[in-house]
Amino acid sequence: MKRNHQKLKYRLAQMAVILPFKMTEKEFCEKLGIPWSTYQKDKSTLKTDRFSMPESRLYRYAKAYGVKMEDILNYKIDVLCLDQMDEEEMVRRVAAEFGLSRSISP
């Protein structure tokens, strides 16, 4: 069964058609020093999977393709603007993000 590109977490399958220097995917992995099985896992990871590839590997893919790391992601990243919040709001949001509870003492 072929997976729909919209369901994949990363755009590696789509980017494979523009491999640099007309190399095969296996040659590409060897050049990056990424095991073939790891590349296959990265390429077929669904948005619903808990797995997220390490930032260092995402960076290597992006650098090899000559794109920003965000261009490889097949989803949007929500960015918190912490510098625009007061300390109490910042602590509340970060605690909520990580499932923590914390009270601020003056």
The encoded tokens of residue 58 equal 């995402």
For residue 87, what are the domain limits? Answer: 76-106
Cβ atoms of 68 and 11 closer than 8 Å: no
Provide, rounded to the nearest whole percent, the portion of the chain with pLDDT above 70: 83
Q: What is the pLDDT of residues 44-86, one digit of tens each?
A: 999 999 999 999 999 999 999 899 999 999 887 766 666 677 7
| Rounded Cα–Cα distance for residues 62 and 69 (Å) | 5
List beta partners, residue 8. 46
Domains identified in the chain, total number: 2
Do both 52 and 17 map to the same domain?
yes
- Residue 98: the pLDDT is 75
Do both 67 and 88 map to the same domain?
no
The pLDDT-based confidence of 100 (bands split at 50, 70, 90) is confident
Do both 45 and 90 map to the same domain?
no
- Residue 41: the pLDDT is 96
Per-residue burial over 56-75, b if 16 or more Cβ lie within 10 Å, else e, is eebebbbeebeeeeeebbbe
Mean pLDDT of 18-35: 88
Do both 55 and 90 map to the same domain?
no
3-class DSSP assignment, residue 56: helix
Do both 62 and 11 map to the same domain?
yes
pLDDT greater than 60 at residue 102: no
Do both 31 and 46 map to the same domain?
yes
